Structure 1
Amino acid sequence: MVLKKASLVTVLALAVGTASAGAAFAATATTTSAVQITNSAYIVNGTMVSLGTIMEKGTTLVSLRDLSAKLGAKLQSAGGVVQAKLNGHTVELKAGSAVLKVDGAEHKLNVPVKNAKGVTYVELEAYVEALGASLYEDEKGSVWIDAKLLSNVDRIQWVDAERFIATQENETGRADYLVEAATGKYRLLDVAADASELAVSSDGKKAAYTTADGHVSVLDLTRASRAVVVSSDSSIKPELVWSADGASLYFLQGDKGSVIAKLDPEINKITKILEDKVDYKANLQVSEDGKTFTYTVTKPGAVVADASKPVEADDVAIDMKGTEPQIYQYTVDPSVKENKAVQLTASADDKVFIRAASDGSAAAYVSVSGDAAAKSTLVKVGKDKNVATLFNERDVYQAEYADGKWYVLTEGDGEKLFVYEIDQATKAAKRIYELSDSVSEIIVKPGAPMAVMQDGRVFLELNGRWKPVSR
């Protein structure tokens, strides 16, 4: 969920608050009679390398041969013209020329292509862009150059500690890719354009989705394969949740999410768990034992009309009082006659980023007050309906849970946002990151690095540096 979006202020966007400064990037200069050639450190396709560079008129020129080899671009030369090919792009250049020809179109350079000691040097940023690659300079001055990162990512979700699913929205629907976090390598998944958000099993081996026609499909994430339809039932299924063992799928059923049901994909069997005629259920979560179901219910607004006015005046209003989402729990217990769901909350605040405990004993959420001046806070409600505050030091924009700890994205100072780590048992909070205020979301997973979304790009925190894994 994107709570906050700001325009890009600088490419030096992220700072790690608690990490060490990291290794210094040294440069060694070699003087020739005409120019000063420097061996400079860059991170190309995730590996630190040394590239020959020249500074001229405040612009960095890089050794064409060095950078092309590290990026994987193919070079060939004929008649004094050098041709480079990468990512489906063809770039032509010539020593002394201030023009790059990119896929047949001419692009003007700030500094002409230079030949020094038999080596061709070209404007770094212009050449990287022409090849369809990406260049990013982090706050520590390290420059990352990547040849084949996925572009224009709208959101991600972790599959396991090494892989995540990246989603691109487009005019016809969307595309989903499985991405290796370490390398940025990706492959397109077989997902229908009108699919629901993917529900990933806890072991990271399977993903399920439902389409507009109500069908449910399961995709094997361990190999490149086509999705398999496991249910052709046509009822609307707005949410899917895997059981802890990955054997079953739970979902809300109907256009108003009235029913909680269970699907056994192996035999295409649907079983109703709760059918209490309560509409507008959402945010379904299931305990590890599959017996406790936590969800929200939102009542629709009431239509209010002035009885003193004629019907044809069509003078009506919507009364939204009492429409705030409330958290409910239902526990399967055959020994209880007329077993009913229990309403845990009745407050007038909005409730977002809801997360039920794995045993169903409590649910935590971000409480958003109707008073715009009030801070949003992280709170917890138990089966006894008592509400306790977990974090209220700063205004909370987002909260995620992993391994007994909450990670909250909050307001910061100036153009910074903060990330706090909160121990759910002790409520102890410590600030672990300072981020640019153009960061819109954090994504956490046990064992995986912290990920953030910033202006359509994904960054991972690795050893005190923020590594770009999309462009």
Structure 2
Amino acid sequence: MLLKKASIVSVLALAVGVSSVGAVSAATVTKASVVQVNSSAFIVNGVPVNINTFIEKGKTLVGIRDLSNKLGADIQTEKSNITVSLNGSTVEMKLNSKVIDADGVEITLEVPVKSLKGTGYVELQAFVEALGGHFLKDDSGNIWLDADLLGGVDHIQWLDSARLIASQETDSGRLDFLVDALSTKYEKLRIVQDASDLILAPNGTKAAYTNAAGEVYVYDFNAKSESKVSSDTSIKPELVWSADSSAIYFLQGDKGSVIAKLDLAAGTISKILEDKVDYKANLDVSIDGKTFTYTVTKPGAVVADGSKPVESDDVTIDMKGTEPQIFAYTVDPSIKDNKAVQLTTSTDDKVFIHAAADGSSVSYVAVSDDAAAKSILVTVGKDKTVKTLFAEKDIFEATYAAGKWYLLTEGTASSQFVYEVDSATGAAKQLYTVSDSVSEVVAKAGSPIAVINDGKVFLSNNGLWKPTTR
């Protein structure tokens, strides 16, 4: 959820190393006296490299064989003809020609394909994109070249320190992909398109979801297969894994009235709380599986003027008292008529909600109905005491990972900030300056910070933002 339109990445500089340049058999040779060849820095498939280039008519020409090898492409030469193949795409070109063929589509270059001292050169960006690769020049002038990036990503989640799940929303349903964060290679997961959001297990090996019928499935990332773990067809609007990944808790019913538990080993479902309170949401479960925190939102009341006829349809909705409130329920058989405790009564909206691992407190971003007021990060304990964790900047988006909050906040007139906030002490530090096309920050313990910038995913990588999807 994005509270306000938020931010792009401001990228830092990177020092890169040197690598050798290969050769392509050639016919006609460009005169060396009129060409200034330079060893130019690029980041190819996430790795800093140097490749020989020269500039002509404002275009950068790059060594064909060297770049092809670094992209992982296959290259074949026969006299003056050069064929390069990558991920099912094939580019054919001929020395001294301004036309290259990309899978049957002719592309006209500004500068013809050239040979210099036995090495073939071609326009850099045109060649990479003809191969189906990705070309990106960041704000600091660094050029990222990637063999193949997944496109059209709507949402990502970190699976572990090296892999993430990227999801695409399509007209026919959602598609999910497993992406290697370093190489950017990806593979489609064989999951039914009517699946609910994937809920990743804490052990990083499984994901849970329901199908359209409400049945529960678990996908095993090691076996790369899914299995049905419950045939129960009651509506389950939210799934939450237990800390040891052995059970799945969920809200049950079309109004989320019941908190239930699915034991994966036994395949049985038991009810934890059935208090006839509707519209529960934002379920969290403590490590010991005994404390459950959630919000309750009351529906608005229909108000009609009794003096008017029913057919006039003159009704209004009274939204007073409908703000979400946070509750905590602790399983304790020793307490007779044990009930959930309401922790908040405030009239602010409550978003980006996350409970402490032991269930002792719940943190959230409080959004005032006063448009001039800042959205702030607060925490409420079981004693109902509310404390402010961060109020320095207006908060647009927030995510929690391993005891830290990562906030996307207001910044200057043309940029915004990413802050890290300690959930226990409230100690805050600014990590990054970002501009106004970043919409989300994604974090997980042991994984790089990721941002979604104008629909593209970038990972923090040694002071740079590495493009991971396009």
TM class by shorter chain equals over 0.9
The percent of aligned pairs where both chains have the same amino acid is: 61
- Looking at structure 1, the residues matched to 411 and 114 of structure 2 have their Cα atoms a distance apart, in angstroms, of 46
- Looking at structure 2, the residues matched to 89 and 371 of structure 1 have their Cα atoms a distance apart, in angstroms, of 54
Q: Which amino acid is the alignment partner of residue 15 of structure 1?
A: V
Residue 15 of structure 2 corresponds to which residue in structure 1? Answer: 23
- Looking at structure 2, the residues matched to 57 and 25 of structure 1 have their Cα atoms a distance apart, in angstroms, of 27
Q: Residues 26 and 120 of structure 1: is their aligned pair in 2 closer, same or farther, counting only changes over 3 Å? A: closer
Shift in Å at residue 165 of structure 1?
Answer: 0.9
Q: Which amino acid is the alignment partner of residue 46 of structure 1?
A: G
TM-score w.r.t. structure 1 length?
A: 0.93
- Looking at structure 1, the residues matched to 463 and 105 of structure 2 have their Cα atoms a distance apart, in angstroms, of 40
Shift in Å at residue 32 of structure 1?
Answer: 2.1
Shift in Å at residue 449 of structure 1?
Answer: 1.2
Shift in Å at residue 79 of structure 1?
Answer: 6.9
Give the gaps of 5 or more residues in structure 1: none
Shift in Å at residue 22 of structure 1?
Answer: 4.2
Residue 248 of structure 1 corresponds to which residue in structure 2? Answer: 247
Shift in Å at residue 83 of structure 1?
Answer: 2.3
CA contact (8 A) 1:15 1:436 kept: no
Over the aligned positions, Cα root-mean-square deviation in angstroms equals 2.1
- Looking at structure 2, the residues matched to 183 and 172 of structure 1 have their Cα atoms a distance apart, in angstroms, of 29
Q: Which moved more, 1:371-380 or 1:174-183?
A: 174-183
Residue 133 of structure 1 corresponds to which residue in structure 2? Answer: 133
Residue 424 of structure 1 corresponds to which residue in structure 2? Answer: 423
Shift in Å at residue 3 of structure 1?
Answer: 4.1
Residue 397 of structure 2 corresponds to which residue in structure 1? Answer: 398
Aligned pairs for 1:177-188 (under 5 A) are 177-188=177-188
TM-score w.r.t. structure 2 length?
A: 0.93
Residue 469 of structure 1 corresponds to which residue in structure 2? Answer: 468
Is 1:201 aligned with 2:201? yes
Aligned pairs for 1:41-60 (under 5 A) are 41-60=41-60
Residue 14 of structure 1 corresponds to which residue in structure 2? Answer: 10
Residue 342 of structure 2 corresponds to which residue in structure 1? Answer: 343
Is 1:171 aligned with 2:171? yes
- Looking at structure 2, the residues matched to 47 and 15 of structure 1 have their Cα atoms a distance apart, in angstroms, of 16
CA contact (8 A) 1:14 1:434 kept: yes
CA contact (8 A) 2:229 2:264 kept: yes
Shift in Å at residue 173 of structure 1?
Answer: 0.7
- Looking at structure 1, the residues matched to 427 and 245 of structure 2 have their Cα atoms a distance apart, in angstroms, of 33
- Looking at structure 1, the residues matched to 383 and 446 of structure 2 have their Cα atoms a distance apart, in angstroms, of 32
Shift in Å at residue 78 of structure 1?
Answer: 4.8
Query: What secondary structure, in the 3-state scheme, does the structure 2 residue paired with 1:15 have?
Result: coil
Instruction: List per-residue Cα deviations over 1:150-178 (Å, max 9, x = no partner).
Output: 22211111112222111111111111112
Query: What secondary structure, in the 3-state scheme, does the structure 2 residue paired with 1:312 have?
Result: helix
Residue 107 of structure 2 corresponds to which residue in structure 1? Answer: 107
Query: What secondary structure, in the 3-state scheme, does the structure 1 residue paired with 2:127 have?
Result: helix
Residue 24 of structure 2 corresponds to which residue in structure 1? Answer: none
Shift in Å at residue 409 of structure 1?
Answer: 1.0
- Looking at structure 2, the residues matched to 201 and 24 of structure 1 have their Cα atoms a distance apart, in angstroms, of 38
Shift in Å at residue 186 of structure 1?
Answer: 2.0
Q: Which amino acid is the alignment partner of residue 134 of structure 1?
A: H
CA contact (8 A) 2:304 2:315 kept: yes
- Looking at structure 1, the residues matched to 20 and 88 of structure 2 have their Cα atoms a distance apart, in angstroms, of 34
Residue 28 of structure 2 corresponds to which residue in structure 1? Answer: none
Q: Which moved more, 1:406-415 or 1:332-341?
A: 406-415
Q: Which amino acid is the alignment partner of residue 97 of structure 2?
A: S
Residue 366 of structure 1 corresponds to which residue in structure 2? Answer: 365
| Matched positions, count | 462
Q: Which amino acid is the alignment partner of residue 82 of structure 2?
A: V
- Looking at structure 2, the residues matched to 312 and 79 of structure 1 have their Cα atoms a distance apart, in angstroms, of 85
Shift in Å at residue 28 of structure 1?
Answer: 11
- Looking at structure 2, the residues matched to 5 and 94 of structure 1 have their Cα atoms a distance apart, in angstroms, of 47
Residue 458 of structure 2 corresponds to which residue in structure 1? Answer: 459
Q: Residues 74 and 24 of structure 1: is their aligned pair in 2 closer, same or farther, counting only changes over 3 Å? A: closer
- Looking at structure 1, the residues matched to 3 and 20 of structure 2 have their Cα atoms a distance apart, in angstroms, of 45
Runs ≥4 in structure 1, deviation > 3 angstroms?
A: 1-8, 24-29, 77-81
Q: Residues 213 and 468 of structure 1: is their aligned pair in 2 closer, same or farther, counting only changes over 3 Å? A: same
Shift in Å at residue 7 of structure 1?
Answer: 9.2
Shift in Å at residue 136 of structure 1?
Answer: 1.8
Query: What secondary structure, in the 3-state scheme, does the structure 2 residue paired with 1:14 have?
Result: coil
CA contact (8 A) 2:378 2:386 kept: yes
Q: Which amino acid is the alignment partner of residue 109 of structure 1?
A: L
